[in-house]
Amino acid sequence: MPSIKRTKFRLTNDQLLEILYWLKLIRAFDERLSVLVRQGKVRSGVYTGLGQEAIVVGTCYGLRREDYICPLHRDLGTFLMKGVEPGVMMAQMFAKATGLSKGRDSALHSGVPELGIFGNTSMLGSNLPVAAGIGLTFRMEQVDHVVIAYFGEGASNTGDFHEALNFAGVQRLPIVFICENNLYAYSVPFEKSMAIEDVAVRAQSYGFDGVAINGNDVLAVYQATQGAIRRARTGEGPTLLECKTYRWHGHSEHDKAFYRTDEELAMWRSRDPIPTFTTYLQHMNVLEPARLEEIDARINTTIDEAVTFAENSPEPEPTDAITDLYA
Amino acid sequence: MTKEITYLEAIREALQEEMRRDPKVFVLGEDVGPYGGAFGVTQGFVEEFGERRCLDTPISESAIIGISVGASLRGYRPVAEMQFGDFISCAFDQIVNQAATLRYRYGGRASVPIVVRAPCGGRVSGGLYHSQNTEAWFIHRPGLKVVAPSTPYDAKGLLKAAIRDDNPVIYMEHKYLYRRARGPVPQDDEEIVEIGVAATRREGDDITLLTYAAMVQPALEAADELAKEGVEVDVIDLRSLLPFDKAAIFRSVEKTGRVLIAHEDVKTLGIGAELSAVIVEERFDWLDAPVVRLTYPDTHCPFAPALENFNLPDAGKIAAALRRLAAY
């Protein structure tokens, strides 16, 4: 496996704090959703990314509006970072009329073209050929925008994964493929679904670099992504970044995840990306206690307002069940 | 004199004219590049439009459709070629789950203006995987449109309409007609064939014959036979299968009271089943006889001509069915 190409980056103190804000906001959003599911206020379709926030933040931070993201089902945070209002995302999860899909689907199956967001179906990996199509248009127009395309290690066993990465390699498309390897495809552990150690090696088959990185280290993810984005913007083609991580909750909020041990979960919780980064910022004298309280308060307000917006939003018009089928 | 060209040339003309008219239109698929396509539809395209607008892809049907969806989200109008319509099964998920649902799940904020060209149909000794008629798979999926032209005129006019349509359109082009059907085509750039509108190919008051694609010609031959026997058949070429032209069908049924549906697809849950159900539901009182279907039997598409001919509806079989219906 090729070593990580070190990319120099410089983030100001404010930017570092912004990264902390996003990590904590996305964590708080998912935690609130988990509670709302238990309260019966959000009925289904909740696939939290708790524990995986560093990947979302490290890959989305600093993207242009014109850059496109093609997230996977746990990446609600990417929608927020790309500009969807938290209230709209909450309304989407509440299946309200003000959600992105007007109540037609509660999960991340919607998108916003003008913000560069493509929301996939439930068929995992089927976002990757779409990402290739978007990347192809960037190359046709000779613009230097990029596509960030996400998938789990489980989806890397689908035909769409291989068809898309092969095409992206042949055409040298400006795409950064982000594998969120959280070790389980629903209940099936990594070693039962592939006979390799790292998904990253699959990139070699398609003629571009793949590297495995610590997906719980937001700066490591940011650094690797920035390197891959730079290559993509300058016509050097795609890169696969495999971010090693772990999901704290089950596949969905209804999954008790009996297929894994408490010890394993505890070990990964000790690698929580947020305290790690918080400690780093404190150590670097970037984060004062008052600032941390301020961030937490701002996040609480944002989430509360999002929930209020969603709860006060109207139910969809029943007849919208049969509209928007055709343009 | 009006220029007459083949069905295949009509498809090529439609693509060329739309690509010249709109820089957002491009074609992609297997062997469509310098080779010019397995059937030669895109011959000369690389020379005129360059490889970027006539893009050879790997053997990756699912990706071909996924790429088309992605490009369409950025304002392009891709025309994806499935080398054989049979191979469309490899792209099934991208068509039915990705393309067909996108506008709905996006709350109407986006559309998917793609065309999937599917060379389909038998009587070409293509065997199991080069002869299928797969329209029913897609008629069953809201969010898609499905068209199936029978003449060069419609082949060109419907393809232009499909490319300009903002929805995913499955364009079923019949291989048997490629070089056998010849006729005039639209000349004016704005002359298209509207999706959802049937064409009456022959007027008659006794029996309605609903058909499309390569069954239209044998249907007309059978109708001529019946005319000699004093039975006048109203032959309706559906052209569009989703949506189909209910108004035209009902006008004819109200006139004749007898309906034969002929299609090359297999019988069970083929479009004939839907047409029959709609007619019985909404025009029962006008009927003088049961709605009859003449279709491919529920079997696969065999290679040997003796086997394939046994399965395929033809003028003789259609005439026989018309006679039985007239005598009911």
Q: What is the pLDDT of residues B144-185, one digit of tens each?
A: 999 999 999 999 999 999 999 999 999 999 999 999 999 999
A6, pLDDT greater than 70: no
In angstroms, the separation between the Cα of residue B101 and the nearest Cα of chain A is 7
pLDDT grade, residue A44 (50/70/90)? confident
Neighbours of B265 (CB within 10 A): 26
Q: How far is the C-alpha of B178 from the C-alpha of B158, rounded, in Å?
A: 15
CA B102 to chain centre: 23
Which region, left, alpha or beta, applies to residue A285 given φ > 0 means left and ψ of -120 to 50 means alpha?
Answer: left
Q: Are A118 and A134 in contact (CB under 8 A)?
A: yes
Which residue, B114, B24, B126, is CA-closest to B65?
B114
Which chain A residues are within 8 Å of B58, Cβ to Cβ? 163, 166-167, 170
User: Among B272, B216, B278, which residue's Cα sits nearest to residue B246?
Assistant: B278
pLDDT per residue as tens digits for the range A213-265: 999 999 999 999 999 999 999 999 999 999 999 999 999 999 999 999 999 99
Q: Cβ neighbours of residue A289 under 8 Å, at least 6 residues apart?
A: none
Bond from prior residue into B243 cis (ω within 30 degrees of 0): yes
| Statement: residue A4 has pLDDT above 60 | no
Bridge partners, B294 (sequence order): B262
- Number of residues that this document lists for chain B: 328
Contacts of A96 (CB under 8 A, 6+ apart): A103, A310, A313, A314, A315, A316
| CA angle, B319 then B172 then B101, to 5° | 130
Q: Residue B90: which of B72, B64, B55 has the closest Cα?
A: B64
If DSSP codes are grouped into helix, strand and coil, which group holds residue A327? coil
Residues of B in contact with A164 (CB under 8 A): 63, 66
Could you give phi then psi for residue B308, rounded to 5 degrees?
A: -65, -40
Instruction: Tell the burial category of A12 from Cβ atoms under 10 Å away from its Cβ (0-12, 13-18, 19+).
Output: exposed
Q: How confident is the model at residue A59 (pLDDT cuts 50, 70, 90)?
A: very high
Of A111, A128, A166, the CB nearest to B58: A166
B63 CB neighbours in chain A (<8 A) are: 129, 132, 160, 163-164, 166-167
SS3 at position B134? coil
pLDDT tens digits for range A122-154 = 999 999 999 999 999 999 999 999 999 999 999
What is the pLDDT, as a whole number, of residue B2?
76
Q: Residue B125: left (phi > 0), alpha (psi -120 to 50), or beta?
A: left
251-280 in chain A: CB under 8 A from chain B: none
Mutate to test the interface with A, among B89, B109, B165, B242 (most CBs of A within 10 A): B109
The predicted structure's pLDDT at residue A162: 98
> Which of B66, B102, B110 shows the shortest C-beta gap to A164?
B66
Rounded to a whole number of angstroms, the distance between the first and last alpha carbons of chain A is 47
Query: Across the interface, which of B67, B107, B142 has its CB nearest the CB of A133?
Result: B67
Chain centroid to CA B169: how far? 10
Tell me the shortest Cα–Cα distance from A1 to chain B, in angstroms.
26
Q: Give the confidence band of A50 by pLDDT, cuts at 50, 70, 90.
A: very high
Q: What is the pLDDT of residues B28-43, one digit of tens each?
A: 999 999 999 999 999 9
- B168 → chain A, closest CA residue: A326
DSSP symbol at B130:
S
Q: Quote the CA–CA distance of B57 and A168 in Å, as a whole number.
A: 11
Residue A28 contacts residue A21 (beta carbons within 8 Å) = no
**What tens digit of pLDDT does each residue of B51-105 get?**
999 999 999 999 999 999 999 999 999 999 999 999 999 999 999 999 999 999 9
> CB neighbours of B307 closer than 8 A, spacing ≥ 6?
none
Q: Which residues contact A8 (CB under 8 A, 6 or more apart)?
A: none
- What pLDDT, in 10s, does the model give residues B4-20? 999 999 999 999 999 99
pLDDT of residue B302: 96
**Measured distance CA(A158)–CA(B60) in Å, rounded:** 12
> What is the percent of chain B with per-residue pLDDT over 70, rounded to a whole number?
100
Rounded to whole angstroms, the Cα distance separating B208 from B326 reads 11
pLDDT in tens, A64-92: 999 999 999 999 999 999 999 999 999 99
Is residue B253 within 8 A of residue B247, CB to CB? The reply is no
Fold for A14-274+293-312, please state it: Rossmann fold (3.40.50)
B199-327 under CATH 3.40.50.920, yes or no: yes
Give the residue numbers in B contacting A (CB under 8 Å), as ranges.
26, 52, 57-58, 60, 62-76, 78, 93-94, 97-98, 101-111, 113, 142-143, 145, 166-167
Inter-chain touch B109–A113, beta carbons under 8 Å:
yes
Residue window 119-148, chain A: list those with CB within 8 Å of chain B: 119, 121-123, 126, 128-137, 140
A316: contact with B, CB 8 A cutoff? no
Strand order of the β-sheet with A68-70 is A68-70, A147-152, A175-181, A239-244, A210-214
Q: Residue A262 class from Cβ within 10 Å (0-12 exposed, 13-18 middle, 19+ buried)?
A: exposed
Cβ-proximal residues to A246 (8 Å cutoff; 6+ apart), any chain: A51, A52, A182, A183, A216, A265, A268, A271
Taking the alpha carbons at both ends of chain B, their separation in whole angstroms is 45
Average pLDDT, chain B: 97
Residues contacting A91, CB < 8 A, separation 6+: A97, A98, A99, A309, A310, A313
Q: A45 falls in which pLDDT band (50, 70, 90)?
A: confident
Q: Which residues pair with A241 in a beta bridge?
A: A178, A211
Please provide the CATH number assigned to the domain covering B4-184.
Answer: 3.40.50.970
Shortest Cα distance, chain B CAs vs residue A319, angstroms:
13
Going from the C-alpha of A221 to that of each of A9, A276, B209, the distances in angstroms are 12, 14, 65
Which helix (H) or strand (E) segment holds residue A169: the answer is: helix A159-171
**Among A145, A200, A213, A180, which residue's Cα sits nearest to residue A6?**
A213
Which pLDDT score, from 0 to 100, does residue A145 have?
Answer: 98
> How many angstroms separate the CA atoms of B243 and B113, rounded?
16
Subunit contact A129:B52, Cβ cutoff 8 A: no
DSSP state of A198: -
Decide: A277 and A19 in contact? Cβ < 8 Å.
yes
Q: Which residue has the tokens 């926030």?
A: A53
Instruction: Provide the residue type at B100 as one letter.
Output: A
For residue B214, the model assigns a pLDDT of 98
Query: Which residues of chain B have a CB within 8 Å of the CB of A134?
Result: 70-71, 73-74
Q: Which residues of B carry out catalysis?
A: 130
Reported as a single tens digit per residue, the pLDDT across A23-32 is 999 999 999 9
Domains B4-184 and B199-327 alike in fold: yes
Quick: pLDDT tens for B225-281: 999 999 999 999 999 999 999 999 999 999 999 999 999 999 999 999 999 999 999
Residue A5 has pLDDT above 60, yes or no: no
